[in-house]
Each structure stands twice: as C-alpha cells, then as structure tokens.
C-alpha cells in the first residue's frame, strides 16, 4: 500500500507520535505537547514528510476519548485521514505481535503498525477501526449541550438520594408528604423549613404564603396544614438533628439551582435541534424519541455516512455482541469499547418505546418468552431500532444529495 502510517498514543498533557515507512521502520517520532502552537508545528512537520516521501499519511488513534481534541479536528481540517482504533481490537493486536514493553513511544509505533495492517485485521464481526468524520458544528455544539444536560440530570438524582437519606435520619414522616421529593413544593419546604424548630415556630398562614422556587405560585394552605401536622409530632430533635436539617436545606437549594439549569439547557437543546434536520427525522419516525433523547442520539452518532452498516452502528452504540465461539461452545461477548452516551440514549429510547409502540412491546414480550432477561432484551430492541434509524437517516442523506444534484 503506497502510504505512510502515523500512530498517536493520546495522553492528557502530551502525546507520543511515530510515523513508519513502507518497510515498517520508524522514519519520524516525537513527543507532542498538548498545546495549540505545538500541534500546528507538528502538522507542518507531517506536511513536510508527506511531500518528501510523496505519499499520503494515514493517522491512527486508539480510544482517544476527549483528550484527542483539538488535535483530531486540526488534522481533519488540514485534509489528513484520521482513523479511530477500537481499544478491544488494539489489545488483541498488541497480544498478537507480542508487545515487549509498555511505554508511550512503543505504543505509538504499535498503533502505526496497526494502521498499516488495519484492512487485514478484524475481531469477529466487530469494527476494528473507523474513519473519523467530523460532525457539523451544529452537531458538535448539540453534543456538548446534551452531555451537560445528562450530567446535571444525574447530579440532581444523586443530590436527591443523599437528601432522602438524611431526611430518614431526623424527619422520616416528611417523605409521605410528596410522591416526588424533587417537586417544587417539597424542595421549597426543605430549603426554608428543614429546621423542625423553625417550622414549629412558623404559622400555617406564613408557610402557606411561601412562594415556590422557580414558580409564581405559593405553597397553599392545604399543604401547609399537612406539613405543620407532621412537624408537630416530631418529638426528637437534638443538636445532631439540627445539623442534619441544615445539610438537607443545602441539598434542596442545590437541587433547585440544578433544576433551573436543566430547564435552561433543555430549551437550548430544543432550539439548536431545530437547525438539525436529522433530529426531526428521528423524532418523527421513532416512537419514544422525545426532544432530548432524539437530540442526544443524533449528536452522538454524528454523520451517519461514517458507518458502513447498521451492525457497525450497533457496535458503536454498544448494543451489539461479538461472536466468541470456540469449538462446540457458542456464546457472545459484549462490546466493551463503545460510545456510552450513544448507548444510554438508544437504551432509554427503547425503554420509552415500550409504553408508546405496540410493535416494540410485542418484540419485547417475544424475547422475554424466549428466556431473555430484561436488560438483554432491551439491548436486542435497541439494536433492532438502530437498524431502522440507520435506514431512515441514510434515506434522508440520499434524498438531500439528490436534491443538491438537481439544483446544480
């Protein structure tokens, strides 16, 4: 193959780089500092090597995660072909060639060696590598917002669980007042009246007039009376309980702030999604895909044309299983290296579709009758849905391409 291979072992503050020639020996190596000016200098060096040898340079990165940015983006902008190597496949290749020692310089050479042999090396039915296609700027922005939204949602759940644990320790009867501890009324009461002594001193009228955080409404007399009734029977409240109530109040305040940020982010996501047509396509065709889930999945998939088949999309989303049979033993191995955000999105979408889609429910019931567990069945349903998503997104892309041709 008339090309040079460049392997980059991605690190947090620095990256190890090795370029190997057609004979497999290193013709260039360096330690690249993760700095914009250093990256620009490195790209210039790659261009010089390309001109000197009159060959294209294919660049490989293994399981780069977020540390590869903006290196990967800058390389793509300059016209280099960059491939992402599956960590599981790389580990298999490492064992196959017998890595003699563990150091960054050798790892980068091994990655470059894999790039050379990439088309001959495969692991079962898994995609050993894929070409990195940079998503549109809108999808990149959407991905950042969706990931932040998910993180804040997780933070709210975590804070709520901690708060419930504390309430159990000094005022357990409060938990019977609201079905949802994260409701505006519940959080406003806990923020302002978690201290039982303070709550006992306050009148029903005062508590009833309390304005709910993030709302124009007040608590109301009915809830205030119920709360006062619960407070009145608390007969054990010592110095430790007082500190617990302070902690509960702090948790409630943090949850309220996070909920406001969550709402703000949801609006941003919906507004930005309006400019990304694929989100509308998924929402329209997939029952269970709401505004946020559709946006999350589309932003994580990026450009659909980087996947050669729906099976490769399923591997990327972590809902495919690899054939790991040996002799008479037949079993499958789960995909370890995948996009966890994409997996979470499609799994949630599949679960939501059970309530809204009769076909999904029928498919789920069929798999369960076959003896499959709940989680495994959801993965099967997710993969089934991804086949359809792959189909409709490709049809949409082809339709856009035909429209451009006609316009030209």
| pLDDT in the model for residue 159 | 97
What is the per-residue DSSP string for 100-165?
Answer: ----HHHHHHHHHHHHHHTTT--BTTB-SEEE--PPPHHHHHHHHHHHHHHHHHHHHHHHHHHHHH
| pLDDT in the model for residue 323 | 46
Q: Where are the domains of the chain?
A: 3-134, 143-273, 276-407
- Name the residue with tokens 């989303």: 317
Nearest in space to 135 (alpha carbons), one of 355, 321, 302? 302
User: Radius of gyration over alpha carbons of the chain, in Å?
Assistant: 27
Beta strands in 195-346 (DSSP E): 321-323, 332-334
For residue 329, pLDDT beyond 70: no
pLDDT above 70: percentage of residues in the chain = 91
For residue 325, pLDDT beyond 50: no
Average confidence (pLDDT) over 210-231? 94
- Name the residue with tokens 């996070």: 258
Exposure class string for 224-235: b at 16+ Cβ within 10 A, else e = beebbebbeebe
What is the per-residue DSSP string for 5-28?
Answer: EEEEE--SSEEEEEEE-TTS-EEE
Rounded Cα gap, residues 32 and 16, in angstroms: 6
Rounded Cα gap, residues 155 and 24, in angstroms: 49
**How sure is the predictor about 24, in pLDDT bands with cuts at 50, 70 and 90?**
confident
For residue 330, pLDDT beyond 50: no
| pLDDT in the model for residue 334 | 55
Other beta carbons within 10 angstroms of residue 1's beta carbon come to 12
Pick the range with the lowest mean pLDDT from 89-93, 237-241, 381-385: 89-93
Tell me the per-residue pLDDT of 233-279, one tens digit each, with 9 for 90 and over.
998 999 999 999 999 999 999 999 999 999 999 999 999 999 999 99
| pLDDT in the model for residue 120 | 76
Other beta carbons within 10 angstroms of residue 333's beta carbon come to 14
Looking at the domain 143-273, which fold is it? Helix Hairpins (1.10.287)
Q: Which two tokens stand for residue 219?
A: 């608590």
Rounded Cα gap, residues 312 and 251, in angstroms: 43
Report the run of H or E that residue 4 belongs to, with start and end: strand 3-9
- Name the residue with tokens 């099967």: 380
Exposure class string for 106-131: b at 16+ Cβ within 10 A, else e = bbbbbbbbbbbebeebebbebbbbbe
Q: Is the dihedral of CA 222, 224, 228, 231 positive or negative?
A: positive
| pLDDT in the model for residue 167 | 97
| pLDDT in the model for residue 331 | 44
Greatest Cα pair distance in the chain: 86
Q: What share of the chain is helix, strand, coil (3-state, %, to 5)?
A: 60, 10, 25
For residue 104, pLDDT beyond 70: no
CATH, domain 3-134, list 3.60.15.10, 1.10.3470.10, 3.30.420.10, 2.60.40.420: 3.30.420.10
Mean pLDDT in the chain? 90
**How sure is the predictor about 335, in pLDDT bands with cuts at 50, 70 and 90?**
low
Rounded Cα gap, residues 339 and 152, in angstroms: 19
| pLDDT in the model for residue 65 | 59
Q: What is the bridge-based pairing of β-strands 56-62 and 3-9?
A: parallel
Of 312 and 36, which is predicted with more confidence?
A: 36
Question: What's this model's pTM, rounded to 2 decimal places?
Answer: 0.85
């Amino acid at each position: 193959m008339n090309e040079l291979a460049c392997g980059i072992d991605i690190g947090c503050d620095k990256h190890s780089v090795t370029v190997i020639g057609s004979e497999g020996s290193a013709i260039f190596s360096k330690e690249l500092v993760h700095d914009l000016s250093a990256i620009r200098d490195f790209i210039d060096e790659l261009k010089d090597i390309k001109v000197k040898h009159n060959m294209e340079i294919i660049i490989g990165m293994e399981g780069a995660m977020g540390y590869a940015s903006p290196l990967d983006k800058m390389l793509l902008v300059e016209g280099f072909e960059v491939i992402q190597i599956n960590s599981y496949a790389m580990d298999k290749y490492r064992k196959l060639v017998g890595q003699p020692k563990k150091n960054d310089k050798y790892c980068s050479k091994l990655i470059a060696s894999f790039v050379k042999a990439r088309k001959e090396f495969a692991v079962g039915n898994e995609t050993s590598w894929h070409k990195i296609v940079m998503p549109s700027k809108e999808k990149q922005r959407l991905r950042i917002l969706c990931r932040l939204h998910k993180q804040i949602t997780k933070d709210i759940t975590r804070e709520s669980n901690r708060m419930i644990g504390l309430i159990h320790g000094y005022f357990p009867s409060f938990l019977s007042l609201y079905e949802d501890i994260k409701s505006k009324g519940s959080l406003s009461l806990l923020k302002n009246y978690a201290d039982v002594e303070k709550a006992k001193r306050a009148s029903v009228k005062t508590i009833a007039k309390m304005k709910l955080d993030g709302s124009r409404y007040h608590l109301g007399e009915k809830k205030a009376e119920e709360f006062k009734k619960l407070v009145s029977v608390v007969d054990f409240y010592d110095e430790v309980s007082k500190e617990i109530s302070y902690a509960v109040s702090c948790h409630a305040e943090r949850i309220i702030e996070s909920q406001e940020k969550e709402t703000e982010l949801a609006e941003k996501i919906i507004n930005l999604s309006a400019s990304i047509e694929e989100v509308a396509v998924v929402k329209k065709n997939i029952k269970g895909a709401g505004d946020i889930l559709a946006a999350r999945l589309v932003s994580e998939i990026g450009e659909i044309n980087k996947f050669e088949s729906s099976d490769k999309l399923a591997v990327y989303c972590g809902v495919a299983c690899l054939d790991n049979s040996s002799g008479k033993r037949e079993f499958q191995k789960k995909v370890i290296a995948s996009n966890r955000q994409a997996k979470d999105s499609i799994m949630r979408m599949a679960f939501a579709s059970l309530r809204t889609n009769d076909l999904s429910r029928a498919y789920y019931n069929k798999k369960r009758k076959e003896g499959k567990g709940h989680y495994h069945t959801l993965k099967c349903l997710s993969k089934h849905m991804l086949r359809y998503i792959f189909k409709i997104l490709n049809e949409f892309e082809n339709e856009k391409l035909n429209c451009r041709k006609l316009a030209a």
